[in-house]
Amino acid sequence: MDKLNKKIQEASHSGAKLCLERHDGKFVVTKRVYDSIERAEKSIKKQSEFNEMRTGAYKICSIPVSTVTRESDYLEFTMPFVDGIGGDVITHKGNKAVADSLRVTLNGYLLNALSRGKEEIVPGEIFAKKLVDIKANYAERSPVVLEAIESALQLSKQELIFPIGYCHGDLTLSNIKVTLDNKLFLFDFLDGFIETPLQDLVKLKQDFDYGWSFRHENPNLALKGRMFCESAYPDMITTISRLYKKEVELLELVNLLRIAPYIKSSDKITQNWLDKSLSKNLQKN
């Protein structure tokens, strides 16, 4: 239990405090958030209101929220501990059958989210404002990052039509868990500056195209991760990206660029990862 608790606490990178406890014989995870409390409240609401979804493979659920407590300087919520394998670990432990199930599940998820969205014209200024903020808060000044900011600013000047509606908001592999009874649990939802299913699509690309979740792994595990992602690649990503070409291009750049101001100057791995991912993205488009 102590070991598990330590693992859970170490897994958090957002500044939130996570703790695993036993209540009435059941394992409970408590998450306490100190920053952006209003936003955290909206994110928890998304988690509690998520409607279960059947797909051709795993059933998609969210980890239920049991209690929410708001104090003046933090927001705390509890949820049951879900004993499953994290999406990031799956990339080096999962076999072909798991990769197939994950692909089918994520395809169903993306299609379902897209079908619930309503198309709206979105003013490019909301992206331009984000990009200007990123530039102002980005101290490293890598030329690739600066080039990507300019490229995204250009894209933001076009007419943009987004499907607006439900999204998880931070759908990286580290925010999902697959259990033995064939369920895929979502958690760590995020309230975003734009609520669009394309947000989940670009977050999945962050892992499936660029290997975000295993960037720190040794070359052997990273290779396994890339191979797994190749066979688990949800082809809906490609189909939907064709339908919303410039919107996905822009959102993908903004999504990657938003990481830039948060990278510590000592974290060379993430700096290189971002440079490489942006270069790949700029060449492709």
Task: Kindly list the residues in this chain that would bind ligand ATP in the complex (CB under 6 A).
Answer: 8, 11-14, 16, 18, 29, 31, 63, 79, 81-82, 86, 174-175, 187-188
Residue 207 interacting with Mg ion (CB under 5 A): no
Query: What is the three-class DSSP state of 16?
Result: coil
214 binds, among Mg ion, ligand ATP, none (CB under 5 to 8 A by kind): none
What separation, in Å, do the N-terminal and C-terminal C-alpha atoms of the chain show? Answer: 48
Residue 175 interacting with Mg ion (CB under 5 A): yes
The C-alpha atoms of residue 46 and residue 30 are separated, in whole angstroms, by 17
User: Minimal distance in Å, beta carbon 188 to Mg ion?
Assistant: 4
Contact 84, 35 (CB under 8 A): no
Closer by beta carbon to ligand ATP, 188 or else 249: 188
The C-alpha atoms of residue 132 and residue 150 are separated, in whole angstroms, by 10
Closer by beta carbon to ligand ATP, 175 or else 196: 175
Compose the 176-205 pattern: x for residues touching Mg ion by CB under 5 A, - for all others.
------------x-----------------
DSSP letter string, 128-155: HHHHHHHHHH--S--HHHHHHHHHHHHH
User: Minimal distance in Å, beta carbon 122 to Mg ion?
Assistant: 26
User: Minimal distance in Å, beta carbon 211 to ligand ATP?
Assistant: 16
Strands 59-62 and 183-186: parallel
| Site of interaction with Mg ion (CB under 5 A) | 175, 188
